[in-house]
Amino acid sequence: MRLNLPQVNKNSRIVLASILKPVDETRMFEKIGSSLAQAGHNVHIVGFPSATGAASDPKIHFHPVAPHPFKRLSITRFFASLKVLFIVSKLKPTIFIITTHELLGAAFWCKLLTGCKVLYDVQENYYRNIRYTTAFPAGIRTVVAAWVRLKERLLHPIITTYILAEKGYTDELPFAKPYLVLENKITKALADRYRKKQQTGYANLLFSGTLAETTGVFEAIRLTDDLHKHDASVMLTIIGHAPSSIIHNQLLRLSDQKPFIRYRGNEQPVPHDAILKEISRADFGIIWYPQNPSTACSIPTKLYEYMGLNLPVLISHNAQSEALVEQNKAGLILSQSTDFQHLIVKMKGFRLSENGANPYFDEDVVALIELLK
C-alpha cells in the first residue's frame, strides 16, 4: 500500500529517458515514473530494453530504444541518442526528464522543437565516475571526463531543475541549480512486499547492485573468504549487473573455485524484483566500498533497500552511510583490521532495533510532484 500522493490539477505528458538503464529500472519506473503516474500525469519511459519484457503498470508507457539488449560499446548505443530524440519528438512531452549526460544534446533539440521543460536527474557524478574508475582506458579518462563536464556546463541553460540523487552532489556539482534532492530510498510498496518478517540467522551474506571494483564486490568476497575460514556455514550470494565482461568472467571463475559463493550476476541489468527476493532471503548485506572519489559522497541505494527490508548490514563506507547505520542500529561497522572470529560472534548476537527509521522515497517525491504542478 502506497502513501497518499498529491494529485495534479492539470496532468502533463512526462517522458523519462535513459540510454543504458532499462525502461523498468527502479528509479525511472518504480520510483519516479510510478509516483508521477499515480499523481495523475501521463508518463512515458524511453530506455534500454527491459530484462523482464513486460510492463507492470498500465498507466506507464514503455518505449525501448532497441528491440534487443545491446552492449555498452556498440553501434546501437552510438545511435541511441538519435533514437531517443526521434521518439521524444513524436511524443511531444510537456516535461522531459533525462537521466544521463548522453541525452543533453537530445534534450537541447527536443526543447527547441517542442518547447518542453527539461529536468536533469543526476544519478551519478559522471565526471568523477569516468575519471576515477576503469570504465574508460587510462589514457583518455581525463579527456572524456572533461568533455562530459564541459557539455554539462554549456547546456546548463536548458535545464529547468536538477534532480540530485545524492545530497553530496550539492557540493560536488555547484553549477547544478536550481535543484531538488531525491535520494534513492526504497518505496513503501516495495518495502511492504519484500520486507523480512523477522530476523533470521547470520551466515547467509549478500552483495547486490552494480558489480565492479569500485563498488566493493571483491572486498565482499575477501570478507566472506575470511569469515568462511572461521565458520564453514558462511555463504555469499552475489547478484547484480556486471557492466564489464572482464569482471563478470572473473566473478564466474571465483564462484567456480569457491563453492561457498553463489553468483547470480549478469552482463545485462538484472530485474529488480530478483534482487529484492535475494534481500528477503539473506541474513546480512555487505556494503564495503573501497576509497574512491567517484563514491565519496554516496549513500548507496542498497543501504536504503537493506534498511527498508529489515536486512542487517556489514558496512565499511563513508561517514554519512555509517552514521545512518549507527543511528538506526541497522548493522555492524567494519574496520580494516577485523578480528573475524569476534565479528562472527557479534553477527550471531546482533538484533535490529525495533525503533529504527525506514525512510521512504514516497515521502520525498512529494516535493517533485509539487514542483511539476
Q: How would residue 372 be classed by pLDDT, with cut points 50, 70 and 90?
A: very high
**Which domains can be identified in the chain, with CATH numbers?**
13-184 (3.40.50.2000), 194-349 (3.40.50.2000)
The H or E element containing residue 117 is: strand 117-122
With H, G, I as helix, E, B as strand and everything else as coil, classify residue 119. strand
Q: Residue 277: pLDDT above 70?
A: yes
Q: How would residue 314 be classed by pLDDT, with cut points 50, 70 and 90?
A: very high
pLDDT at 256: 95
pLDDT in tens, 72-123: 666 777 788 999 999 999 999 999 999 999 999 999 999 999 999 999 999 9
With H, G, I as helix, E, B as strand and everything else as coil, classify residue 15. strand
For the chain, give the percent of residues with pLDDT over 90: 77
pLDDT at 1: 43
pLDDT at 168: 94
**DSSP state, residue 103:** G
Output b/e per residue, 302-326; b: 16+ Cβ within 10 A.
Answer: bbbbbbbbbbbbbbbbbeebbebbe
Helix, strand, coil proportions of the chain in percent (round to 5)?
45, 20, 40
CA dist 162 and 101 (Å) reads 12
Q: How would residue 70 be classed by pLDDT, with cut points 50, 70 and 90?
A: low
Q: Residue 55: pLDDT above 90?
A: no
Query: How large is the average pLDDT for residues 230-242?
Result: 96
- Nearest Cα to Cα of residue 352 among 328, 316, 335: 328
Query: How large is the average pLDDT for residues 193-210?
Result: 92
Amino acid at 34: S
Q: Residue 358: pLDDT above 90?
A: no
pLDDT at 6: 63
Query: How large is the average pLDDT for residues 230-256?
Result: 95
Q: Residue 268: pLDDT above 50?
A: yes
pLDDT at 84: 94
What's the chain's average pLDDT?
91
Q: How many CB atoms lie within 10 A of CB 160?
A: 15
* Range list of H helices, the chain: 34-38, 75-91, 104-114, 126-132, 141-154, 169-172, 188-194, 217-230, 245-257, 272-281, 301-308, 319-327, 340-349, 361-371
Q: Which cell numbers hold the place of 107? A: 534534450
For the chain, give the percent of residues with pLDDT over 70: 94
CA dist 23 and 17 (Å) reads 8
Q: Residue 164: pLDDT above 90?
A: yes
Q: How would residue 147 be classed by pLDDT, with cut points 50, 70 and 90?
A: very high
Q: Residue 175: pLDDT above 80?
A: yes
CA dist 92 and 69 (Å) reads 26
